[in-house]
């Protein structure tokens, strides 16, 4: 039966659907025109939903370098459905991002792993650019990593390096091969522990496992960061569970460390004590008392201290280990070069046991070797991503606010436009060259540059220089015949930092017996 009341309803629905369709088309057309009005960087063709994610591969720094050769030093990528990502692959553009327009590019995109592991990204490396970050950076530079503070831990460095030399001397006397990669890891971890926490934890296996897992998780690629509504995948594959478990265990460990320091502080205040043996937790607790009250504009809490401590391990341990390992691997692979470095060290130091800062300053070829290693084996190949805080331009292309910026420091450091024979290990290229890695020469920025440069450069380089000088002064090095292929293999393992794939198993031969 005909019902006249149905006609207006159907008509109304038809009109509403038509209007909605028109509005949607107008919106999409306007959006398309707005995008077309912008001159965006070239973008490789991607896949629906994934965008260009599939093109990153197992070694993103190498994949992105290949894309830059095809599309140019400034390319736009769609990584999932989050904000667009611009990849920088030239020194000139890196200078624009990290110097000329540093303030515009000074923030950080959100990271689910940093939120899990670093107390909602309240560290320095992953925190967005704001008043809190500026306060933490100032605390780090003034109180934790100043030249004076780094120098104050000279005794710790010397003691731990001497212990390493003694262990290797024992292996040498027994004509045994040593896993130098593992021993360098223990050395670096022990130095950081003593400096940051006041004592070593190398005997606690679980602590080392937690730190290793912490590094692996920070270098992972959670689905939630690229396709948020597929974040459940991280739970299914166990990534989110690993992050929560590691975060909980590290928090419990750091809570015990803080309680020990607070208890010791109360005792020392009662009897009076010198500040000469303060570790970084002591310093941070003092800063908290002086400037971190609840009445302060930005109070410094316990979680902020924990985030800074974890960052010390993340930034100070792994990058130092990888650099030491790569230097020794490259020198052992190149017998003429290792002889050149050793000759300089031994002629300068003789059989001197304690290496002073003025001694290191004379080791020109050693310094060149470290620079060349940082060039060829950039510890963090893709610098921590940045985020634009306003619309800007690079090389005539429009870069909208909220765009992620990735600087391929590895690709730039191997660009033939800046380096002759860029894939060869040639420390001599830095002799009579003023190019350095401290953020002033943008063809070599392993530690970043500008506001977001790593504040721990001085600390890391002091450990690297002193350790190498001692290892190369005291011992000659041979490769066991049965493991020669693995030791001389320069293949990488991808992660937050770029490690050598095969451990450095070598035989130490004592050169200066009187040193031990």
Counting every residue written for the chain, the total comes to: 516
What ranges do the domains of the chain cover? Answer: 53-111+125-200+310-515
Q: What pLDDT does 281 receive?
A: 92
The rounded distance, in Å, linking the Cα atoms of 234 and 217 is 12
Burial readout 42-81 (b: 16 or more C-beta within 10 A, e: otherwise): eeeebeeeebbbebbeeebbbbbbebbeebebbbbbbbbe
Which tokens hold the place of 490? 């320069």
- Give, to the nearest 10 degrees, the angle between helix 335-349 and helix 364-376: 140
Distances from the Cα of 498 to the Cα of 403, 446, 504, angstroms: 26, 12, 15
Asked if 188 and 163 count as a contact pair (C-beta separation under 8 A), the reply is no
- Do the bridges between strand 85-88 and strand 404-407 make them parallel or antiparallel, or are there none, so unpaired? parallel
Q: Classify the phi-psi angles of 388: left when phi > 0, otherwise alpha if psi is within -120 to 50, otherwise beta.
A: beta
What SS3 class is residue 309? helix
Distances from the Cα of 467 to the Cα of 165, 353, 484, angstroms: 9, 12, 24
Of 1.10.1660.10, 1.10.12.10, 1.20.120.350, 1.10.630.10, the CATH number of 53-111+125-200+310-515 is: 1.10.630.10
In which residue are the tokens 């933490």 written? 136
Handedness of CA 64, 65, 70, 76 (dihedral sign): positive
- Which has the closest alpha carbon to 85: 382, 306, 334, 332? 382
* Segment 353-372, tens digit of pLDDT: 888 878 999 999 999 999 99
Q: What pLDDT does 264 receive?
A: 86
What SS3 class is residue 394? strand
Query: How do the pLDDT tens digits run along the chain, 516 residues long?
Result: 444 444 446 666 666 666 666 666 655 555 555 555 689 999 999 999 899 999 999 999 999 999 999 999 999 999 998 889 999 999 999 999 999 999 999 999 999 999 999 999 999 999 999 999 999 999 999 888 888 888 889 999 999 999 999 999 999 999 999 999 999 999 999 999 999 999 888 777 888 889 889 989 998 989 999 999 989 999 999 999 999 999 999 999 999 999 999 888 887 765 555 555 688 999 999 888 776 555 456 778 899 999 999 988 877 788 999 999 999 999 999 999 999 999 999 999 988 888 887 899 999 999 999 999 999 999 999 999 999 999 999 999 999 999 999 999 999 999 999 999 999 999 999 999 999 999 999 999 999 999 999 998 999 999 999 999 999 999 999 999 998 999 999 999 988 889 999 999 999 999 865 554
In which residue are the tokens 């930034």 written? 315
Close Cβ partners of 293 (under 8 Å, ≥ 6 residues apart): 299
- Which has the closest alpha carbon to 161: 299, 360, 331? 360
Alpha helices (H) in 86-179, listed in sequence order: 91-95, 112-117, 131-139, 147-152, 154-173
Q: What pLDDT does 516 receive?
A: 46
Q: What pLDDT does 164 receive?
A: 97
State the number of CA atoms in the 13 A half-sphere of 175 facing the CB: 0
The rounded distance, in Å, linking the Cα atoms of 323 and 363 is 18
pTM, rounded to two decimals = 0.89
- Which has the closest alpha carbon to 329: 488, 495, 464? 488
State the number of CA atoms in the 13 A half-sphere of 363 facing the CB: 30
């Amino acid at each position: 039966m005909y019902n006249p009341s149905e006609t207006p309803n159907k008509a109304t629905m038809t009109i509403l659907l038509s209007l909605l369709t028109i509005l949607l088309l107008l919106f999409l057309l306007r959006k398309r025109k707005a995008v077309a009005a912008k001159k965006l960087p070239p973008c490789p063709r991607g896949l629906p939903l994934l965008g260009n994610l599939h093109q990153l591969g197992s070694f993103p720094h190498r994949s992105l370098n290949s894309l830059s050769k095809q599309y140019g030093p400034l390319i736009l990528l769609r990584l999932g459905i989050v904000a667009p990502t611009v990849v920088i692959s030239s020194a000139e553009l890196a200078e624009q991002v990290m110097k000329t327009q540093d303030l515009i590019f000074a923030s950080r995109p959100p990271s689910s792993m940093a939120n899990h592991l670093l107390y909602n990204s309240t560290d320095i490396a992953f925190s967005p650019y704001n008043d809190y970050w500026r306060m933490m950076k100032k605390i780090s530079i003034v109180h934790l990593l100043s030249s004076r503070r780094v120098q104050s831990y000279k005794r710790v460095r010397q003691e731990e390096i001497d212990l390493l030399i003694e262990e290797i001397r024992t292996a040498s006397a027994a004509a045994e091969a040593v896993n130098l990669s593992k021993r360098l890891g223990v050395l670096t971890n022990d130095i950081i522990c003593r400096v940051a926490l006041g004592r070593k934890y190398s005997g606690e296996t679980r602590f080392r496992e937690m730190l290793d897992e912490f590094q692996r998780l920070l270098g992972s690629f959670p689905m939630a960061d690229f396709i948020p509504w597929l974040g459940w995948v991280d739970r299914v594959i166990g990534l989110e569970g690993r992050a929560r478990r590691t975060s909980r265990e590290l928090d419990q460990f750091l809570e015990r460390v803080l309680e020990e320091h607070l208890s010791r502080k109360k005792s020392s205040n009662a009897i009076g004590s010198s500040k000469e043996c303060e570790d970084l937790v002591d310093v941070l607790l003092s800063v908290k008392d002086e400037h971190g009250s609840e009445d302060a504009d930005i109070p410094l809490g316990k979680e902020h201290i924990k985030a800074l401590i974890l960052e010390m391990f993340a930034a100070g341990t792994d990058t130092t280990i990888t650099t030491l390992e790569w230097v020794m691997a490259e020198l052992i692979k190149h017998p003429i070069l290792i002889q050149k470095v050793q000759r300089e060290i031994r002629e300068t130091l003789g059989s001197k046991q304690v290496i002073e800062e003025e001694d290191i300053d004379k080791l020109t070829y050693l310094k060149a070797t470290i620079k060349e290693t940082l060039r060829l084996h950039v510890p963090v190949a893709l610098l921590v991503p940045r985020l634009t805080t306003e619309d800007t331009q690079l090389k005539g292309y429009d870069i909208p606010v909220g765009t992620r910026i990735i600087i391929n420091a590895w690709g730039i450091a191997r660009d033939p436009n800046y380096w002759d024979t860029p894939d060869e290990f040639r420390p001599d290229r830095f002799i009579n060259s003023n190019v350095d890695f401290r953020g002033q020469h943008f063809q070599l920025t392993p530690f970043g540059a500008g506001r977001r440069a790593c504040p721990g450069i001085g600390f890391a380089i002091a450990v690297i220089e002193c350790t190498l000088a001692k290892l190369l002064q005291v011992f000659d090095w041979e490769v066991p015949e049965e493991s020669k292929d693995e030791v001389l293999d320069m293949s990488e393992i991808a992660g937050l930092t770029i490690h050598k794939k095969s451990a450095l198993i070598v035989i130490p031969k004592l050169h200066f017996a009187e040193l031990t």
